[in-house]
Amino acid sequence: MRRLLPGRRTAVIGVVVLAVLAGATWVYKPWWQPWWYARTLCGGALSGGDLADLLPKERLRAGEDTFGSGDGTSVACEVDRPDGYHYVLRAEATTDGAEPDGPLDLEFTIPRDPQYLYSREIPGFHGNLGPMIVQDCPALGRDAEGRIRRLVTNVYSLAVERKPEATPARMAVQIANRANDELGCGAARLPVPDRLEPAHRLSLRQARATMCGGLARAALPRSPSGKDWQVLAPTGGRAPISSCSLVDSGTGRTAATFTGWYGDWTDKPFERLLGANVQIPDGHSVRDALLGENFGRATARCAGESANFLVNSYAPHGTGPVLPMSELRALLGVFAKEEAGRRGCDGLELPGRTVYPAQDR
C-alpha cells in the first residue's frame, strides 16, 4: 500500500477536517444563527433564545432593518429566508396615527376578533397575525387632528399566528421598549414576561374590587347551567383596551365578554364590524350604537377621541349567542357607564332595545 509523506498526510487530514467543519457549520447553522441575528438586527432588542425558540428549523438571513435610521416616526426589521423573497419574522413599531384602522387594520372582521387580550402588564392583544401592543406617547403630544400619539408595535410571523404564547409576546415587548426609546414616545417601560399568566376566575364578591366591579354588582341573568357566575378581569382600569368576562362556573365557559376600545383608530373597524354582520335599518348607520344577534356596541367620547364598547356572546360551533342580546343590553350599559366615568368620557350612547338580524351569508 502506498504511504503518504508526512506533509501530504497532514494536508489531507486538514482538508478532511475543513470539510467536516463546513458540513457541521451547515448542519448546525440554525443553532448559532438566532444569536447572531438577535445581536445585529432590530437594534439588538431581540433575545437569541427567543428567536431560536420561535424559529427552531428556519435558516435565517438578514432582511430590512430601519432601527437606528433616524426616521423619527417608525422602525421595522425583518429576518428573511435564504431565498430573500419571504420573511420569517417582521417587527414594526410606529407613532404615526394617520392610519384610520390603526392596530385593528387586519382584525375585527367578526366580533370575536381579536381573540385574546393580554393581562394588565402588556397593553395590547394577540390578534390574527400575532402580538399587537398599543401605548400612549406622553412625550409626543397630540397630532394635527388632536389625537393622542400612540406607539403601535406588532410582530408578524407564521410561527406566531397560533394561540398566544410567551415567546412572541416577549419579542413584541422587547421591540416596543426599543422603539419607545428610539422614537421618543415617553411611555413607561414594559416588563418582559417570563410567561403568559391566564386571568383567574373570580367570584362576584372578589370581582367587586376590580375594574369589573359594576358587572359584579349588577343584576345578572341566570347562567346557562344555573350555577354561580364568575368574572374574568384581565386588564387594568387605564388599559388602552379593557376587558371583563362573565364565566358560567357550571360549565367553565365564557358566556359574555365586554371590551372597551379607546381612540379614533377604533371607529373604522367597528363600522366594518357592524356593516359586515348586521342588517342596518333605515335611519341608522354603521356609526350608531346598535344590537346585533351576537354582539352589541355602545359609543362615547374620551379625551376628545372616540371610544367604542363591545359585548359579544358566542356559543361553541357558531350555534348562536350563549345569552340573548336583549339580556346583555343592560349589562353593556353598566360596563360602558363605569368605563366612561372612570376615564372622564362624555356623550355616551347606548343601543336601543331592538336586536337587528345578521347579514345574509
Confidence label for 326 from pLDDT (cuts 50, 70 and 90): very high
d(CA 110, CA 108): 5
Q: Which residues fall within 8 angstroms of residue 245, CB to CB, at 6 or more apart? A: 231, 232, 254, 256, 257, 258
d(CA 144, CA 296): 32
**What is the Cα Rg of the chain in Å?**
25
Q: What distances in angstroms separate CA 46 from CA 40, 77, 87, 182, 213, one per listed residue?
A: 9, 11, 16, 15, 38
Strand ranges (DSSP E) for the chain? 61-65, 74-80, 87-94, 116-117, 124-127, 130-136, 150-156, 202-203, 229-232, 241-248, 253-262, 295-302, 305-312, 346-349
Amino acid identity for residue 320 in this structure: G
Q: Flag whether the pTM goes above 0.95.
A: no
Segment 222-244, tens digit of pLDDT: 999 999 999 999 988 788 889 99
**Percent of the chain scoring above 90 in pLDDT:** 52
Stretch 269-286: mean pLDDT, rounded? 91
β-pairing, 116-117 with 229-232?
unpaired
Q: What are phi and psi of 332, to 5 degrees?
A: -60, -40
